[in-house]
Chains A and B, each alone.
Chain A
Amino acid sequence: MKRFLETGNFAITEGAILVGCRFFAGYPITPATELAEAMSLRLPQEGGIYLQAEDECAAMHLCIGASLGGYKAMTATSGPGFILYADPYGWALGCECPVVVLNSGRVGPVSGITGAPGQGEFYLMRYPTHGGNFETICLAPNSAQECMAMTVEAFYLSERFRMPVSVLADQLITDGFEDISVPENDAEMKEMGFRVWPRKIHQGPDFYPVTDELDIPPVVLGQNTGALCSDWTPTEEGYDIEEVEAHHKHAYRLIYKVRNNRHIFNHLYEKVHMDDDPDLVVVSYGTPSRVVNTAVKKARSNGLKVGALRLINLWPFPDEHFSLNTKYLVVELNWDGELVREVQRAAPKDSDVHFLGTCGDLPTVPRLTETFEKILKGQPLQRIGWEVEAW
């Protein structure tokens, strides 16, 4: 195991290379530029291919091409680039191409603030393209080390589910430095819990079966089989068609291969002080969760019965964590409130759901502690300046 003081961007690059990623196409954008830079250095060293595309839309299309060519492929961007993935994301979902997509959140909308973290793409990760009739998988790490682990996991899931899988990080962890351990062999990868699924090749004849089954190898061009990459509906035999019944079958697979196999990844969450049915559950994902954990541990030492739930698997949304009829506080790096809407939907109807949002900076421990106390005392949260606490 080698130890480095390095960025999340470095960790993601090394994680991707460890599990066999040999193709990266992207367009530089803060805070994922250093990832493109690292890939441009590292991939050629490993016999891989790095391409800087003319824009993000082209970058992800290139990744689809690479995936159809048998490569494990990846692209990375931030919010303003992620929206340009909308078209190819749909192709990758529809044609069932494994691709790993990293989005490092900064403050939006539009160009927003480049050098500060944001969480404005919670729903965009669920609906990265138009049209519906699909499910997506999204994983959200909260440290540089976990960026590596979730990149590894995203490659594993993308192969098994035969689809694009996204990692939602943010500026603090992709640009920030942390001590990072990089495994040097299979035994060390196993020790770190890394799961690897090799690229397999579909030999037909049922290239797009109407089933929710996993582990159907992806279609790879030039393997003495026909193959399809079309924006129309694939038939089971691998021809494309515009036809209602075929599309129903296709949509069934795109939705239920994910929904019916959530057990593969729904262990991806973290609970702190959650064993005794806390009076207040603080829900978050990504870097805010680290301040939340500090604040919750502090609150516990002050006698407050507070617990922390951190979601790593964001989509499909893990409703099962919200069965407790209690008070919830959702902490996010945005002022509009996104995750809080899902928590409100998933929590029992009469539970009390609150929101604390910040824009561009993590919340502070005193601010969180004060908010916990107010909620537990039943005091209303108020609007502080522009920051909305009341929900």
Chain B
Amino acid sequence: MKDRIEIVASGFGGQGVVRLGQIVGEAGVKQGLRVAMLKSHGTEMRGGYVRSQVVLSKDAIDSPICESPDYFIALSSAAYERFKDTVPNDGIILYDPALVEKIDETLNCTQKAFPAKTLSMENFDKPLFANTLVLGVVAKIIDVLDKDMVLDSILKIIPKFHENNKKAFQIGYDYTF
């Protein structure tokens, strides 16, 4: 494991960006890691800009800021544009093509399109489970995270719809790019 792993998720309010960061962080705590997770948001409850920054480390964390995220989960075009250039060459951008319309082909990092919203509509007839689908992919691509710990954290932090969340998580986890 690297000294510190930085994960940024950003989109707009109501998508579960904070929840997503919280679940990744909770899994980190369960795995005995040190965790810092900052959330920044506008004044609106829904629709405003939101960002979660998660740092995972074996040691105490000094700066809680993700200046060069190893993983960036983009859930809106605005978020993508704002943070895409902070991702280093060995970093990964995970984005939902239904939400991020235009991709910057000049970036050197790996970019993975994951149709979370579409998959949620196909499997559950509503976009509600897009977030859990994304977490399935996150559990797969972030090496340090333990799959079961992420799922446990989802079930702990989201008190409702456990069966659908388990199903969505597995679909995300099994998705092949």
Decide: A179 and B64 in contact? CB cutoff 8 A: no
How far, in whole Å, are A116 and B26 apart by their CA atoms in the complex? 23
Chain A contacts of B36 at CB under 8 A? 143, 176-179
Contacts known (A297-B62, A362-B65); A178 close to B37, Cβ less than 8 A: yes
- For A116, the closest partner residue in chain B by CB is B40
Q: Which one of A155-163, A286-294, A341-349 contacts B?
A: A286-294
A201 contacts B by Cβ under 8 Å: no
Chain B interface size, as a band, is 20 to 34
A360 shortest CB reach to chain B, Å:
9
Which residue of the partner chain, among A5, A114, A290, contacts B64 with CB atoms under 8 Å? Answer: A290
B92-119 contacts to A (CB < 8 Å): none
Asked if B142 is an interface residue, CB under 8 A from chain A, the answer is no
Q: Which of B67-89 contact A (CB under 8 A)?
A: 67
Say whether A179 contacts B28, CB under 8 Å. yes
CB-CB < 8 A to B41: which residues of A?
115
Contact B34 A179 (CB under 8 A): yes
Q: Which of A5, A114, A297, A365 contacts B29 (CB 8 A)?
A: A5
Give every chain B residue within 8 A of A287 (Cβ-Cβ): 64
* Residues 1-48 (chain A) with a chain B CB within 8 angstroms: 3-5, 30
B63 and A293 contacting across the interface, CB-CB below 8 Å: yes
Interface pair A364/B67, CB less than 8 Å apart: yes
In the complex, given contacts A5-B28, A176-B38, A177-B37, what are 11 additional A-B residue pairs having Cβ atoms less than 8 angstroms apart?
A4-B29, A5-B22, A114-B43, A115-B42, A116-B40, A143-B36, A176-B39, A177-B21, A178-B36, A179-B29, A293-B62
Interchain Cβ contacts under 8 Å between A and B, 28 examples: A3-B29, A5-B22, A5-B26, A5-B29, A5-B35, A115-B41, A115-B43, A176-B37, A176-B39, A176-B64, A177-B25, A177-B35, A178-B36, A178-B61, A179-B25, A179-B33, A179-B34, A179-B35, A287-B64, A290-B62, A290-B63, A291-B63, A291-B65, A293-B62, A297-B62, A362-B63, A362-B65, A364-B65
